[in-house]
Amino acid sequence: LKAEWDKLKDAKTVTADGKHIELAANIGTPKDLEGVNNNGGEAVGLYRTEFLYMDSPDFPTEDDQYQAYKAVLEGMAGKPVVVRTMDIGGDKELPYLQLPHEMNPFLGYRAIRICLAEDAMFRTQLRALLRASVHGQLRIMFPMIATLQEFRSAKALLDEEKAKLIAEGVEVASDIQVGIMIEIPAAAVIADKFAKEVDFFSVGTNDLIQYTMAADRMNERVSYLYQPYNPSILRLIKNVIDAAHAEGKWAGMCGEMAGDQTAVPLLVGLGLDEFSMSATSILKTRSLMKRLDTAKMAELADKAINECDTADEVVALVDSYTK
Ligand code: PEP
Ligand code: MG
């Protein structure tokens, strides 16, 4: 198995019937790039920039951030890099940013909600990203988007900073894709509306599952409800992928589910374009995809969504297709 995976390191990811799928990696710091390249990652599908803030005694400066983003873009040598803007709050705290004590931090002041309220901090990050954009293929992604207004506000700040930089004579790439994470059910439901305005979606299943099932992703007592294969989750994901494709956009996934070997056949069947996972899952997923036929997987996904009542039934169905 190990030998087979090694051979797949420099191969493109293709299904049995020859469809290319992008296999990307999730990273937290520029240091993680070594793992991405050693495991044949075709892109970075999620760079969690909050670690830049969490590993620093104070807000990272524009230049600190610029250096980190540049390092990742250069390290990927022109391959796509999706950088997610700061996702603090929920379970992630910053010692130097006083957040209010909340009854439900995961439903509270978090991620894009903080960024739109503290826009000086957000603008600093956006400027650093825009300046770094000339060093590779940058894609910018906003987390925890619930409404179109939030996306429009974030995009407007990005456009403002871009215009300012250009006026200052700073070079900025002209082809930066701007997308959103789909991790709040409200956004998944109206994905058709978002698809008209964004360049791409990346489904954040870690949060999407907890919000859809109303089951805290870190609470053992309700972990039985944390069901990636529940037909409700699959229907939301299908809605997101179909909405993206109807507008000629791409849909990826950067939650844990993207690297889950039971979920992969379903997601291939639903037409997911990009899978982003921990680097150590890339080769086994590439090996699995090589054995999957997209038409057959589309039939599987259709049955899972329309004929299965429970997550257990979905798992049994996937097994019957892949064993
Ligand atoms: C997710 O919610 O699926 C995700 C990728 O973001 P995080 O795990 O950082 O919340
Ligand atoms: Mg999330």
Per the listing, tokens 């994905």 go with: 191
For 1-56, how does the pLDDT look when each residue is reduced to its tens digit (9 = 90+)?
Answer: 778 888 899 889 999 999 999 999 999 999 999 999 999 999 999 999 999 999 99
210 token code pair:
């907890």
What is the pLDDT, as a whole number, of residue 242? 99
What confidence tier does 150 reach under pLDDT thresholds 50, 70, 90?
very high
What is the pLDDT, as a whole number, of residue 2? 78
Mean pLDDT of 212-216: 97
What is the pLDDT, as a whole number, of residue 255? 97
**Rounded percentage of the chain residues whose pLDDT exceeds 70:** 100
For 53-100, how does the pLDDT look when each residue is reduced to its tens digit (9 = 90+)?
Answer: 999 999 999 999 999 999 999 999 999 999 999 999 988 889 999 888
Least-confidence region, from 92-96, 139-143, 275-279, 315-319: 92-96
Which helix (H) or strand (E) segment holds residue 133: the answer is none
Q: What is the 3-state secondary structure (H, E, C) of 67-79?
A: HHHHHHHHHCCCC
Looking at every residue in the chain, the average pLDDT score rounds to 97
Q: Which residues line ligand 1 (CB under 6 A)?
A: 46, 48, 87, 183, 204-207, 254-255
What is the pLDDT, as a whole number, of residue 1? 75
Counting from 1 in the atom list of ligand 1, the atom nearest the Cα of 204 is 3
| Beta pairing class for 274-277 and 250-253 | parallel
What is the pLDDT, as a whole number, of residue 161? 98
What is the pLDDT, as a whole number, of residue 100? 86
Distance between Cα 111 and ligand 2 center (Å): 9
What is the pLDDT, as a whole number, of residue 113? 98
Question: pTM of this prediction?
Answer: 0.97
What is the pLDDT, as a whole number, of residue 177? 98
For 257-305, how does the pLDDT look when each residue is reduced to its tens digit (9 = 90+)?
Answer: 999 999 999 999 999 999 999 999 999 999 999 999 999 999 999 999 9
Among residues 88, 145, 208, 254, the one annotated as catalytic is 254
114-143: burial string, b at 16+ Cβ within 10 Å, e else: bbeeeeebbbbbbbbbbbbbebbbbbbbbb
Distance between Cα 256 and ligand 1 center (Å): 8
Q: Is the pLDDT of residue 191 over 90?
A: yes
Residues forming a β-bridge with 178: 140
What is the pLDDT, as a whole number, of residue 99? 87
Nearest CA to ligand 1 atom 9: 48
Q: Is 208 exposed, middle or buried (0-12, 13-18, 19+ CB in 10 A)?
A: buried
Counting from 1 in the atom list of ligand 1, the atom nearest the Cα of 183 is 2
The CB-based long-range contact list for 162-169 (8 Å cut-off, 24+ gap) reads: 162/130, 164/127, 165/127, 165/130, 165/131
Mean pLDDT of 131-142: 98
Q: Is the pLDDT of residue 210 over 90?
A: yes
